Structure 1
Amino acid sequence: MSEKLNILFAAAEVVPFAKTGGLADVAGALPKALQKLGHNIKVVMPRYYTVETEKLEKLPAPLGVPMGIMGELWAGVYKTTLPKSKVEIYFIDYEHYFGRSGLYGDENGGYHDNDNRFVFFSKAALQLCKMLHFTPDIIHANDWHTAALPVLAKTRFVHDFAYAASVLTIHNLQHQGHFYKGVMDVMEVGWEYFNPYSLESSESVNILKGGIAEADAVTTVSKKYALEIQTPEFGFGLDGHIRVHNHKLFGILNGVDYTEWNPAVDKFLAQNYDVGNMRGKLTCKEDLQKHFHLAVRDDVPLIGFVGRFVKQKGIELIAGVINKLLDHDIQVVMLGTGEYWAEDFFSEVARFRDNFALHAGYSNELAHKIEAGSDMFLMPSLFEPCGLNQIYSLRYGTLPIVRATGGLDDTIINFDAQHKIGNGFKFYDATAEALYNTVLWAVDVYNNKKEAFQRMQKFAMQEHFSWEDSAKEYEKVYLFALQHKRGNNYEI
């Protein structure tokens, strides 16, 4: 792509500053890959209280943010660069909205004013461009938190961003931003947009729905997920709306930062290893077993899980079969946090089973150790827009056991015993029985088809999912969006 673009990239969370899920990983990596391709990109996110300001540069002038019937609010702005890059990232500092214990909610649920919080943030992102005299060619919004941007750029801010094309990436369609319709008077986009084809949904405002309608292009984080969200099973009520706009919908698989997730250089491992010398993986397995006080055995299949204990991740499926699985000669380790029932349930399992261990919480170091020390990695998600852990697992020679959905289906090649190829094990029905049978299948291959299992490991470790490849696909979408904005036909 010869045209070098000015890109505003707005996200509610960005690694390493704040993270609850995959959105943060994308926002921390994709802008760096786009800059390497020659584009001028600025990232903007809220300044949560967990983002320390001591190492940030504070912009001298305050930022005025018009909030309709609420009047004008004034925010501070901080600035730094994304790690190991020259990509500028700006933080919108407004204590009343972002100085809280959580990003979107706390133990009592989502914050009651999330509508105003993220309308404020979206408007602040556009006001920031004006303050910096930065004229974006592309306004890239992510998930419902910033899905108001395509609507705002067409309405309230049209005179400042008339030539900017908007792209909206859906990382998880389940969360859409449903709010009381009075937020229309805060958004200031005009009540004519409160209709079933844009922002209105069952007499309330659906911010993501409006963003999908008004964006010049919409992306999801895998090709399979782009198809799935057009069906009732995965569309969460928006499947018909998305089908109307599928002419501008594209699936682009997330990349992986191999400078962080690579067993050859991983600083958290007991011993590094690579596809040419796998001996270090056994050392990592022993280290993991010792950490969790499991029997140190190199012959027992060790299965790892890292993720949120929520229904989407298939945690109920695991709970339904874990005791039956542990009756077999296997070991299972789990790292995660989430729904209280799940934490309590797996804590009880850990008390009574000597071949099962749990770390309730999150540890980046332990996540790396589980990826390296496990023989197989469990991801039985009910839906998975992209998924990153299965891609990490491939690089570590830890064969994924997954449900064939979204990015899991796109990245995992089911083991073919006849041709002895594949990089993991897949099941299709979202049932505990299907999960149970697939785990036992993988264990059987590990125990009785050693040569095939090792061949799969080496094949998996040579798979490559880079952000550079993803960034080139986003370039094509940006060009499509610009042509769409200008009223031209352009096909990718």
Structure 2
Amino acid sequence: MKILFAASEIYPLIKTGGLADVAGALPVALRNKGHDIKLIMPAYQGILNKVAPIQKSINLGNPFGVGDLLLLETHIPDNDTPIWLLQCQALYEREDGPYVDKNGVDFQDNHLRFAALSWAIATLALHGNLIDWQADILHLNDWQTGFAAAYLKSWKVNHIPIVTTVHNLRYNGSFDMNQFSDTHLSAELLSMHGMEFYGRFSGLKAGLVYADAITTVSPTYAQEILTPEYGDGLDGTLRAMQDKLSGILNGVDYNQWSPEKDTLIPQNYGIDTLHLKQTNKLALLRENSLSEDLNYPVFGVVSRLTEQKGLDLVLQVMPALLEKGARLIVLGSGDKYLESGYLELQKKYPQQVAVRIGYFEDYSHRIQAGIDALLIPSRFEPCGLTQLYALKYATLPVVRQTGGLADTVFEEGDKDNGFVFKEADEESLKLAMERCMACFYDGNRWQQKQQNAMCYDYSWEAVTDQWVDLYQSLLNR
């Protein structure tokens, strides 16, 4: 099959979250199965330095009055995956991140930036002759590409099947109606059964309503978003379209995330050499000038620092556990009050707590290899990737039972690979962390859980067939 895969971020070119990891790995896994994939994303500042030399350039004109939209054909050097980069200096070449300025505020013209991307995506889906390649399937991801489904709808043409994947329903890409005319979309689409969203218009809702299939990144999350608690105002829309909704768990690229192969950690190890993990633990403690006593557990956080991730709960619970000898290593950025809260904790416990604000890929690997347990007490979690990485590194996750965490981490019987709690409150998290510490001191039981964790296969190869089946079912219709 020929699949046009559209995303606003793709690892290793640019990454702010799990979407980039998926967009960087799923297409590669599909190509390995013999399918013909082309990616498309914006040419943000600095991206051209990370790809192979441009092979072809196509001028799509200036449909939005902000400058010509140029499609640049190249490929990702790491894995040779073909990619089209959409270049428009006024829209994409900015010194800050792909969505927000240096103060963390959304760019005022995000509606236009991603409408332009979506227009280009829809144009390629419809007119494959432009690039001498006609896709069979269009795969959209999140709100930034959802407008593409709206363009194809508004042009009133027969088009290839559309799959929209929701990586996080909370980010719905909704904008003020005063900005709608900038998109050049038909006002006919602005109904409650279209892309209208509580008096605004939404890129994600467009991607949902006008898709032929909707997927989320875990089976449990696909069920949760049908409820008001998790539906973020779209649960009614989704309940009306349940027949085209399914959940396919994200996978992991074990070429990058495996302690046996990882070139970014001090000491490689595997299930038969689990004792070597201690070398990474000691190196991590030394790197952070923390107490080097290996007889106490080291908890870790690698995450956006937000209430969604339940990281306000960790701040409340952690002091009592630090008093019992635990250590904590944190990597992430997000809400300023949480950032300052963790920095204050570090100041109070300098021998036991290390905090780095920001995201550093190399360091995240060293954390996964060096800590004993990873904290993910999320209030909701569409899939979660860090717990999947942790399992392979014999780092036991402590998670709330929600979304993809509920599908992958278990504290029971033969599946036992971590620590699970149900309610999003301090007491439930504290009890789970105390169970974790008690298990840590029971060496045989801890090692058995570690070995269980490492045996799980969450590779992309294991889930790719589900994607192939979904695409094929749409073509068969």
Query: Letter of the aligned partner of 1:284 in structure 2?
Result: N
Using the TM superposition, give the Cα deviation of residue 190 of structure 1 relative to its aligned residue in structure 2, in angstroms: 2.4
Name the structure 2 match of 1:208: 204
Name the structure 2 match of 1:85: 79
Q: Give the one of 401, 421, 432 matched to 2:398.
A: 401
Q: Secondary structure at the match of 1:88?
A: strand
Q: Deviations over 1:194-237 (max 9, x none)?
A: 10011112222112112211100000000000001111111100
Q: Is the 8 A contact 2:56 2:74 kept in 1?
A: no
Q: Report whether the alignment pairs 1:291 with 2:287.
A: yes
Q: Is the 8 A contact 1:64 1:73 kept in 2?
A: no
Name the structure 2 match of 1:429: 423
Q: Identify if the C-alpha distance between structure 1 residues 263 and 108 changes in structure 2 by more than 3 Å, giving closer, same or farther.
A: closer
Q: Deviations over 1:116-169 (max 9, x none)?
A: 11010111223344520321111110000001122222332x54xx24000000
Name the structure 2 match of 1:127: 123
Q: Give the one of 438, 454, 460 matched to 2:447.
A: 454
Q: Is the 8 A contact 2:280 2:366 kept in 1?
A: yes
Provide the rounded CA distance (Å) in 2 between the counterparts of 1:59 and 1:271.
40
Query: Letter of the aligned partner of 1:202 in structure 2?
Result: Y
TM-score (norm 1): 0.92
Query: Letter of the aligned partner of 1:14 in structure 2?
Result: I
Q: Is the 8 A contact 2:399 2:421 kept in 1?
A: yes
Q: Give the one of 4, 11, 15 matched to 1:8.
A: 4
Q: Is the 8 A contact 1:57 1:78 kept in 2?
A: no
Name the structure 1 match of 2:466: 473
1:7-406 matches, cutoff 5 A: 7-53=3-49, 55-58=51-54, 61-65=57-61, 67=63, 70-71=64-65, 73-100=67-94, 101-106=96-101, 107=103, 109-128=105-124, 129-156=128-155, 158-159=156-157, 162-353=158-349, 354-406=351-403
Q: Identify if the C-alpha distance between structure 1 residues 270 and 54 changes in structure 2 by more than 3 Å, giving closer, same or farther.
A: closer
Q: Identify if the C-alpha distance between structure 1 residues 201 and 48 changes in structure 2 by more than 3 Å, giving closer, same or farther.
A: same
Structure 1, unaligned stretches of length 5 or more? Answer: none
Q: Secondary structure at the match of 1:74?
A: coil
Using the TM superposition, give the Cα deviation of residue 171 of structure 1 relative to its aligned residue in structure 2, in angstroms: 0.2
Q: Secondary structure at the match of 2:308?
A: helix
Q: Is the 8 A contact 1:224 1:406 kept in 2?
A: yes
Q: Identify if the C-alpha distance between structure 1 residues 231 and 250 changes in structure 2 by more than 3 Å, giving closer, same or farther.
A: same
Q: Identify if the C-alpha distance between structure 1 residues 283 and 413 changes in structure 2 by more than 3 Å, giving closer, same or farther.
A: same
Q: Identify if the C-alpha distance between structure 1 residues 171 and 48 changes in structure 2 by more than 3 Å, giving closer, same or farther.
A: same
Q: Identify if the C-alpha distance between structure 1 residues 65 and 197 changes in structure 2 by more than 3 Å, giving closer, same or farther.
A: farther
Using the TM superposition, give the Cα deviation of residue 114 of structure 1 relative to its aligned residue in structure 2, in angstroms: 0.7
Provide the rounded CA distance (Å) in 1 between the counterparts of 2:323 and 2:159.
63
Of residues 348-357 and 250-259 in structure 1, the stretch that sits farther from structure 2 once superposed is 348-357
Of residues 174-183 and 325-334 in structure 1, the stretch that sits farther from structure 2 once superposed is 174-183
Q: Identify if the C-alpha distance between structure 1 residues 72 and 364 changes in structure 2 by more than 3 Å, giving closer, same or farther.
A: closer
Provide the rounded CA distance (Å) in 1 between the counterparts of 2:219 and 2:255.
25
Q: Identify if the C-alpha distance between structure 1 residues 351 and 238 changes in structure 2 by more than 3 Å, giving closer, same or farther.
A: same
Provide the rounded CA distance (Å) in 2 between the counterparts of 1:15 and 1:259.
14
Q: Secondary structure at the match of 2:464?
A: helix
Q: Secondary structure at the match of 2:60?
A: strand
| Count of paired positions | 471
Q: Is the 8 A contact 1:372 1:396 kept in 2?
A: yes
Q: Is the 8 A contact 2:381 2:403 kept in 1?
A: yes
C-alpha root-mean-square deviation of aligned residues, in Å? 1.8
Query: Letter of the aligned partner of 1:103 in structure 2?
Result: P
Provide the rounded CA distance (Å) in 2 between the counterparts of 1:141 and 1:215.
9
Using the TM superposition, give the Cα deviation of residue 86 of structure 1 relative to its aligned residue in structure 2, in angstroms: 3.2
Provide the rounded CA distance (Å) in 2 between the counterparts of 1:459 and 1:25.
25
Q: Secondary structure at the match of 2:130?
A: helix
Provide the rounded CA distance (Å) in 1 between the counterparts of 2:270 and 2:104.
45
TM-score (norm 2): 0.95
Using the aligned pairs only, state the percent identity.
Answer: 36
Q: Is the 8 A contact 2:52 2:77 kept in 1?
A: no
Q: Is the 8 A contact 1:231 1:239 kept in 2?
A: yes
Q: Secondary structure at the match of 2:253?
A: coil
Q: Secondary structure at the match of 1:278?
A: helix
Q: Is the 8 A contact 1:166 1:216 kept in 2?
A: yes
Using the TM superposition, give the Cα deviation of residue 316 of structure 1 relative to its aligned residue in structure 2, in angstroms: 1.0
Q: Secondary structure at the match of 1:52?
A: helix
Using the TM superposition, give the Cα deviation of residue 356 of structure 1 relative to its aligned residue in structure 2, in angstroms: 1.3
Q: Secondary structure at the match of 1:44?
A: strand
Provide the rounded CA distance (Å) in 2 between the counterparts of 1:375 and 1:310.
23
